[in-house]
Chain A
Amino acid sequence: MKILVTAKRVVDANVNVRVLSDNSGVDINNVKMAVNPFDEIAIEEAVRIREAGNAEEVVVASIGPTQCKEQIRTALALGADRGIFVETDADIQPLAVAKLLKALVDKENPDLIILGKQAIDGDNIQTGQMLAALAGLPQATFASEILLADGEATVTREIDGGMETITVKTPAVITADLRLNEPRYASLPNIMKAKKKSIDTYTPEELGVDVTPRLTTLKVEPPSDRQAGVIVADVEELVDKLKNEAKVI
């Protein structure tokens, strides 16, 4: 079995991004970048499946500018076997990412595709579902447990009311939620080994995919500000304020 996973390059989760003064976007110059946290979980899951003897190969893909190779190297250090880099400086929106990944699925024929449920920059939560649609595959999103057996994956999903379990035929697209696993840290020897692993590079043109954006971002603004209020002396004052000032209880 072969597993395809993704490693999107995003602003590190601990960075508090700032909006650019010309409202064209957020400032990502000199900001720490990382593998999208949900993709780390997807990669970890794929590597665990291989380590358990249920897969032979884990292939990791990333799409974007040349620096995305760093995130592919990180994934390789975490245990992926081989990388695919789709190089583009264009504004790549989820539908275009899904089309590019579909082209990779056609090339690689993976039995399982695991993405993160959400990229923490755009917070779109679309790509896995779109890829599944374009590839004609079933989907299991927001996965917190994956069990593989007999050409099927039984997946427990985090839903608003609690948990739901579904079974999908493989090949399938699964998107990883936070509690699927706890990703490991890359060890120094593995970081060294990762440098020798191969990365194939394509462009969207070579994959025959039109990535023209469908959405234009007209402006990006800071959210309406919230001012810090008062510090109350004790519980009594708190209750008094809530009753008589804010009038919410």
Chain B
Amino acid sequence: MSILVIAEHNNESIKAATLVTVAAAQEIGGDISVLVAGANCGAAAEEAAKIDGVTKVLVADNAVYEHQLAENLAALVVEIGKDYSHILACTTTTGKNFLPRVAALLDVAQISDVSGVISQDTFQRPIYAGNAVATVQSSDPIKVLTIRGTAFDSVAAEGGSAAIEAIDVVTDAGLSRWERAEIAKLERPELTAANIIISGGRGMQNGENFALLEAVADKLGAAIGASRAAVDAGFVPNDMQVGQTGKIVAPDLYIAVGISGAIQHLAGMKDSKVIVAINKDADAPIFQISDYGLVADLFKALPELDELLD
């Protein structure tokens, strides 16, 4: 087996998602190459070479890869990936965007959001918002997989010493161009990397009231998430949405505040180790999956919590 992992990075450093993907690659077993495609991404490549378990790092350093445009990145991965038995990326918005394009160009299926490796051709994945888990077997010569970030334990970022090889394939499809990004500035840990998350729902009533969550988050070193209802109502930006169509998280502690517990929200957080729900409605479905439930008005409970954490 030879596995190609497409690194997730910001040209300067490797993102945690890559370490999870390498972990999944190790479960499949075989030689692991990591592709770093970007612009001025030498530093990221150096980091990739240190990842535990990586045999080789391929670097495609060119302006056409700077923003991971799907058309250009997919063409590159197809070119390189033909020689591998497996091609893996993380189930992030980047992986979800370019990898199906790779699979189609190779005329193979993609298995999305792999949560378990059964064998080299058989994998588990959640379907129906996590209400079922399917075991699927691929008959294709190349297995193209996105890896569920919460399902594998990251490999160590240090300890490896892979060879770095430059790739001079330049694929500019000329079909798309990047204009701009508005990336939220994070004062807190990233949702998918946080050990503790406190999320607010429609019960928060407005964006200003998220300050109540922020106060608690600051004391716990927590990230802040939200339900779709809170995002749609404009309380907070979209990148905070947890759920079937938002981010999938599995922290040690997840505190859901003013969130009813719709299946689409649960899909994004029910693998958390400990779940706490604060809701004034004792019948809210969120209590059915919570380890600790507090039936209370959040506007009373949050300031109390804030105080008790001093």
Contact = CB atoms under 8 A, between A and B. Distances in A.
B113 A123 contact: yes
B71 A138 contact: yes
Interface residues of A, number: 79
Interface string A194-224: 0000000000000000000011111111110
Given A13-B264, A166-B176, A219-B135, A139 B184 contact: no
A148 interface: no
Interface residues of B, number: 89
Interface stretch (A51-59, A81-89, A236-244): A236-244
A215 B137 contact: yes
Interface in A223-248: 223, 226, 228-232, 234-236, 238-239, 241-242, 246, 248
B305 A239 contact: yes
B290 A142 contact: no
Contacts of A215: 109, 111, 136-139
A7 to B, nearest CB: 18
Main secondary structure, interface of A, reads mixed
A126 B103 contact: yes
Most buried by B among A126, A142, A169, A216: A126
Contacts of B74: 133
27 contacts: A17-B131, A120-B128, A122-B127, A125-B100, A125-B112, A129-B104, A130-B101, A130-B103, A130-B104, A133-B74, A139-B97, A158-B239, A159-B94, A161-B183, A165-B179, A179-B238, A215-B109, A215-B137, A217-B136, A219-B134, A221-B135, A223-B131, A229-B292, A236-B304, A242-B292, A248-B253, A248-B273
Interface of B: 67, 69-71, 74, 92-94, 96-105, 107-113, 122, 126-140, 173, 175-184, 192, 196, 220, 228, 231-232, 237-239, 244-245, 247, 252-253, 263-264, 270, 273-276, 282, 287-296, 301, 304-305, 308-309
